[in-house]
Amino acid sequence: MDSTLSDPMVGRLLDGRYAVDSFIAHGGMASVYLATDTRLERRVAVKVLHAHLAGDRETLARFQREARAAARLSHPNVVAVYDQGTDADRPFLVMEYVPGSTLRQVLRDRGTLSPAETLTVMDHVLAALAVAHNAGLVHRDIKPENVLITADGRVKVADFGLARAVAGSTVTTTGSVLFGTAAYLAPEQFQHGTADERSDVYSAGVVMFELLTGGVPFTGDSAYAVLHKHAYEDIPAPSTRAAGIPPQVDALVTWATSRDPAQRPADAGELHASLVDVRDKLGLHAAVPGLPVTLTTPITDDGPAPTDAVTHAVVPPAAPAAAATPPARPRRRGGILRFGRRGPLVAGIVALAVIAAAILGWWFADGRYTHTPKLLGETRQAAEAALNDAGLHVRYLAPIHSIRYAKDEVARETPAGGDRISHGGTVTLRMSLGPARHTIPSLVGTSVTTATNALSDLGISVSRQANVYSVDVTKGDVVKTNPPSGTVVDAGSSVVLYVSKGAKPVTIPGVAGENEADATSNLQALGLHVQPVQKFSSTVPRGQAITTHPKPGSTAHAGDTVTLVVSEGPKLYDVPNVVDKPLGDAIREIAAAGFHADPKQFAPGGPQTVFRESPTGKQPKGTTIELDYY
């Protein structure tokens, strides 16, 4: 079935501006469409994030943030990002429309590229990466599928920042995203979840290896098997897989693909400078390799969609070489080859030529080379002395931070120690500044993913997570770190993330009969807030606890508010004033008010009139009121 007919995106007008013309392809993270920018009247490629990723708030925020960062990149070798927006809760990205082919298609058509062609392609790729690294943006997914070659021979790198955006979602070694890029992934990306400029350098080195040899360094039955090899095996020199590769090119690849990030170029700019230097010294200049096909659709992260409109490039056959004049046959006499009277002279010349050829062959194959001394960890003075003894020159580039090597020790050596180098050649050294220092940021209240990525950007890893109860921090978010925020640590250090389990559950104790102060203290000790209320009680003395709400034995959580019911004592009522009233009336009035009358006579034979009552004022009902009369 034609996907164009069934795809609901086709025919839509996104953001009131981008008219979706046709479906192009599905990728691991998005679908790509050919569209028209109706305002500027130009063709664009629109990448719409898959629904399962768009539904994740954190992924959506990261996608938009990284898209904005990618849009700031402006370079001829970078696929431009024009705009980003959201349509029906589906975020989309508007990019430069690039008709052409991926580097993957070039490899499928050509098999391998020559060293000159490889350096030409990588010159453009590294130039694009260098611009991104200078802007603080890491690609994280360099592979032939993300390198485009246009019909007029331009090289462009696509999908800057998008791999990082998807990294916020759950991706495992069985996921399509990681499985497709396992062959190019730097060890630290899957071992520690960290990625920086050196991770891109590693991936670029693997791409260079593939261009030279026609295959990736490691293969396996699963993504995990490939990743395991990247973690525990050194990538071999390309010359071990293909002939005709100069040792200087070998050195570039092995330097870029060192398993230890500290042993790689610090960023794409450094690798690019060295590549240009090697290319110019060896004279390895070539045009960008021609396209195997001409496509009418842009390229996606999974390569271009199949199309019927494919035109194969036609290369005119090379003109036949001029026929060589066959050499004169030597004269034969009696079945023995003879050179005539000058035979001894010719034989001597031939022998000398053979010897000279052997010497020259040895010289060009091995004799003109020596080996670079191993200088990593040496002081500047010791390194210069060793290079001087080896007859080599030294060149220094800007010092770099290093976790492995102390300040003022050699942290980077090109070519690497033990590699071949021409006699009198130049070895490039970079001295160590020691580890980079970073301040641990405050991460309280952030998600574990956000905290991990923020630390990763500083070169700090998470050693483990510890779950703790917290009243103030939502369950699943970061409570604190160890070392705490504000601590200055070396790059390469690790921290412990303390993650909230939510408020601690507690059982409300029985506090009946305790005075208000003690009951409040006991409840607060469990992390509960106490709200006292007063209640009249004829059985519990004033100031003592009667009960709690929720009731004792109930389960609450630290931080919850518990109502503490405190006795106000019995309720009081007005005692009627019956002084000067006849005794009978006084007794009836006292009883009607809820009190007991206790009449006492002081003068027998009197008028039976009350002259005094006690107690008076407010009293609990049922109180006995003494009535004195005469």
- 611-628 tens-digit pLDDT: 999 999 999 999 999 999
* Window from 174-178, 350-354, 541-545, 596-600 with minimum mean pLDDT: 174-178
Question: Higher-confidence residue: 615 or 160?
Answer: 615
The domain made up of 505-569 is a member of CATH 3.30.10.20 = yes
Q: Which CATH class is domain 3-96?
A: alpha beta
Looking at the DSSP bridge assignments, the partners of residue 626 are 598, 614
How far apart are the C-alpha atoms of 93 and 85, rounded to whole Å? 7
pLDDT in tens, 304-347: 333 322 222 222 233 333 333 333 333 444 443 444 455 566 66
pLDDT confidence band for 476 (50 / 70 / 90) = very high
In the predicted structure, residue 275 carries a pLDDT above the cut 70: yes
pLDDT in the model for residue 89: 77
The CATH architecture assigned to 572-629 reads 2-Layer Sandwich (3.30)
Domain segments of the chain as ranges = 3-96, 100-301, 369-431, 437-500, 505-569, 572-629
The pLDDT value given to residue 627:
93
Q: What is the pLDDT of residue 294?
A: 38
pLDDT given at position 548: 93
* Residues near 275 by beta carbon (within 8 Å), at least 6 away in sequence: 119, 122, 123, 126, 252
Q: What is the pLDDT of residues 228-269, one digit of tens each?
A: 889 889 999 999 999 999 999 999 999 999 998 889 998 999
Q: Which of 2, 141, 250, 628 is catalytic?
A: 141
Closest to 214 measured CA to CA, from 287, 121, 113: 113
Question: Quick check: is 56 catalytic?
Answer: no
Domain 100-301 of CATH type 1.10.510.10: yes
Average pLDDT, rounded, for the chain:
81
Cα–Cα distance for residue pair 409/429, rounded to 1 Å: 10
Q: Do the domains spanning 100-301 and 572-629 agree at the CATH topology level?
A: no
pLDDT tens for each residue of 340-384? 455 566 666 766 766 665 565 555 445 567 889 999 999 999 999
For the stretch 522-559, what's the b/e string if a residue is b when 16 or more beta carbons lie within 10 angstroms of its beta carbon? bbeebbbebeeeeeebeebeeebbbebeeeeeeebebb
Give the pLDDT of residue 9. Answer: 85
Specify the CATH number of the domain 437-500: 3.30.10.20
pLDDT tens, 10-52? 888 988 889 999 888 776 677 888 999 988 889 998 988 887 7
User: Residue 69 — very low, low, confident or very high, per pLDDT cuts 50/70/90?
Assistant: low
Measured CA to CA, the distance from residue 234 to residue 254 in angstroms comes to: 8
**Global pTM value:** 0.48
Class at the top of the CATH hierarchy for domain 369-431: alpha beta
Confidence at 223, pLDDT banded by 50, 70, 90: confident
Extract the tokens encoding 275.
Answer: 């590549």
Residue 514 binned pLDDT confidence (cut-offs 50, 70, 90): very high
Give the residue-averaged pLDDT of 526-542. 91
